[in-house]
Amino acid sequence: MNMIIGNGVIANRFIDYSLQSSYLIFAGSVYDSTSHDEIAFRHEEESIKNALLNNQMSVFVYFSSCDILDLDKANSLYVRHKIQMEKLIQDSANKYLIFRLPQLFGLSDEKTSIVNYLVDAIVEGKSFDLWRNAERNLIDIDDVHLIVDYILTNKLYSNRIINIACPHNTSILELVQCMESYFYRSAKYNLVDKGASYYIDISETLEIITKLNINFKQGYILKAINKYFRHLINKPLLLSVIVPTYNEEHGIEEFYRRTKYVLKILEPRFDHEIIFVNDFSTDNTFDKLQALSKIDRCVKLIDFSRNFGNQIAITAGIDFSRGDLAIIIDDDLQDPPEVMLNFIAMWSIGFKVVYGVRPIRQGVNVFFKLLAKIYYRLINRLSDTKIPNDTGDFRLIDRMVIDKLKLMREGNRYYRGMVAWVGFSQIGCTYERDKRYAGKSTFSIKNYINFAIQGLTSFTDKPLYIVSLLGACIAGIGFLLASILIVNKIIDPSISIRGWTSLVAIAVFLGGIQLLSIGTIGVYIGMIYREVKGRPLYIIDKTTNLNE
Ligand code: UDP
Ligand code: MG
């Protein structure tokens, strides 16, 4: 004979009681506190009456609801029904135990359970109303089973109503926040000024909870979410960390240590790969990286055939990354790896690009800082693509952006501009740029000037228009001057024109302007020349751990 009536979360969990004839477990059919389904209510009543009639010898165990204690719901059909059922059992059962339960964590696809409802809304990105003041004493059905089992086997109570609940309240807002951080999704809710908390007296079970060593404290909710909803996170996401690397033998191990530490924190949610692109280092960097790649399969190496420069190194890293998201970071610890956590937090609320903004630059002189400030503002004035001020290459990019960047094969690469050009929702994240951990910057003044010109010319052709405009203005002035001279000569033919010095000054000035214009045009032609050749952007000597 089956001693369990019901087929929901509770009945399923108490399946081990199905052959124990001393107990009849009635884990009824109605557990939706918003239900108005009178037919279901009547059906439950009928089956309770039936069960009572047929099982006079066994203890009638009925699962009721803590909602009865919620004054807000005192008049709801559901609560009135549950009170009636309790009364019916109290009046007609020889031996009974009634357990009142709060909302549960458990294996069920019951859509009306608060937990399932919220998880579904968050995972599917549906919007919902969130009751700001509502608090619940959510409990894991496994813990309910433990407690009830203990009470029944030890015959602790008879003919009583016993509340079983988590000893402390969790607000629904907290619950939603737990789910958000677990699923790395942001919930779309409207906060409404509704709900309340209510007191549940659990003095009968407190001692049992201590005996059974059930830990309702830290992380109870998160653990329960992980237990029942892990399957919704099909597989952890993959985070690619892309590191252009050049002559960093003294800092590279420390860089690895700090980065790995951060990646370990992220481990439950993110698998990772660290792609070092060795830009033909001439020191011991490569050997050190090789050693790391032997002990850690997540360390992947791309070794260039010669030095191609850091923008190209970044390109190779992006080309080979398999991640759902990638973070580009320098190897010299100027960009603190810990900031990656902030980037990811912002990414998880929906931004496709999170770029580091560095208003404070340690270890950079005042003159250089000023120059950089002027440069970024100038480039923004001239270019149609708005490149955020004070940013570097340290940034997070989503797979959507990675795929677009991979389509952009221009040889003249200026990543912060290219990323800006791609679009999508982007946001800055301010951080403090540190001093180099070891060694010194490999960027010489010449590099910086080249890089600046590259940045300027690859994102705007306005300089070409500016020199044309300059030419037109000067020609206009020349025409005006000539006209004045001719008119003067006609009015007074005896006039003689002097001024050798001014003539030379004008000639030199014009010569300068011409050379500047030709130079500007030349820069663009050079760019075209390089692009037209269509050479590969880089040549790889060898790779390590990359093919798995
Ligand atoms: N880098 C590179 N190839 C080069 C020069 C530099 O891949 O030819 C890398 C370097 O290892 C670092 C990043 O680019 O990860 C920035 O270089 P650096 O720190 O020298 O520049 P700074 O921070 O001074 O601008
Ligand atoms: Mg640096």
Whether the per-residue pLDDT at 292 is higher than 90: the answer is yes
Is the CB of residue 279 below 6 angstroms from any atom belonging to ligand 1? Answer: yes
Ligand 1 nearest-atom number relative to CA 334: 23
Give the ranges where 349-443 is alpha helix by DSSP (H). 366-382, 399-407, 415-422
Whether the per-residue pLDDT at 186 is higher than 70: the answer is yes
Among the bound ligands, name the one nearest to the CA of residue 278: 1
Average pLDDT, integer, range 301-307:
95
C-alpha 544/C-alpha 275 separation (Å) is 10
pLDDT tens digits for range 62-104: 999 999 988 888 888 999 999 999 999 999 999 999 999 999 9
105 CA to centre of ligand 1 in angstroms: 51
Place of tokens 């969990």: 13
Q: What percent of the chain is helix, strand and coil (3-state, nearest 5)?
A: 50, 15, 35
Among the bound ligands, name the one nearest to the CA of residue 372: 1
294 CA to centre of ligand 1 in angstroms: 24
Place of tokens 């004839």: 21
Q: What are phi and psi of 4, to 5 degrees?
A: -120, 130
Place of tokens 């086997």: 153
Is the CB of residue 335 below 6 angstroms from any atom belonging to ligand 1? Answer: no
Is the CB of residue 307 below 6 angstroms from any atom belonging to ligand 1? Answer: yes
For position 12, what pLDDT does the model report? 77
For strand 4-5 and strand 23-26, is the pairing parallel, antiparallel, or unpaired?
parallel
Local structure of 272: helix, strand or coil: strand
522 CA to centre of ligand 1 in angstroms: 28
Among the bound ligands, name the one nearest to the CA of residue 443: 1
C-alpha 15/C-alpha 5 separation (Å) is 10
248 CA to centre of ligand 1 in angstroms: 9
For position 497, what pLDDT does the model report? 67
For position 522, what pLDDT does the model report? 84
Among the bound ligands, name the one nearest to the CA of residue 442: 1
C-alpha 453/C-alpha 463 separation (Å) is 11
307 CA to centre of ligand 1 in angstroms: 11
Task: Label residue 360 by pLDDT band (50, 70, 90).
Answer: low
C-alpha 12/C-alpha 164 separation (Å) is 18
For position 491, what pLDDT does the model report? 87
pLDDT tens digits for range 374-415: 877 887 787 777 878 788 899 999 999 999 999 999 888 888
For position 442, what pLDDT does the model report? 67
The rounded Cα 521 to chain-centroid distance in angstroms is 44
Task: Label residue 361 by pLDDT band (50, 70, 90).
Answer: low
List the residue whose alpha carbon is closest to atom 18 of ligand 1. Answer: 441
Contact 308, 286 (CB under 8 A): no
Environment of ion ligand 2 (residues, CB < 5 A): 330, 332, 334
The rounded Cα 491 to chain-centroid distance in angstroms is 79
For position 503, what pLDDT does the model report? 80
Contact 488, 496 (CB under 8 A): no
Q: In what order do the strands lie in the sheet with 23-26?
A: 4-5, 23-26, 59-65, 96-101, 160-163
Whether the per-residue pLDDT at 322 is higher than 90: the answer is yes
Report helix angle 77-92 to 38-54, nearest 10: 10
C-alpha 455/C-alpha 441 separation (Å) is 19
If one compares 418 and 349, the residue with the highest pLDDT of the two is 418
Concatenate the DSSP letters of all residues of 304-339 into one string. Answer: ESS---HHHHHHHHHHH---SEEEE--TTSSS-TTH
> pTM, whole model, 2 decimals?
0.59
Of all residues in the chain, what percent carry a pLDDT higher than 90? 39
Is the CB of residue 442 below 6 angstroms from any atom belonging to ligand 1? Answer: yes
Ligand 1 nearest-atom number relative to CA 277: 7
List the residue whose alpha carbon is closest to atom 7 of ligand 1. Answer: 310
Is the CB of residue 44 below 6 angstroms from any atom belonging to ligand 1? Answer: no
Question: Which secondary structure element, helix H or strand E, spans residue 212, and what is its range?
Answer: helix 203-212
List the residue whose alpha carbon is closest to atom 14 of ligand 1. Answer: 310
C-alpha 273/C-alpha 251 separation (Å) is 19
For position 96, what pLDDT does the model report? 95
Q: What are phi and psi of 252, to 5 degrees?
A: -65, -35
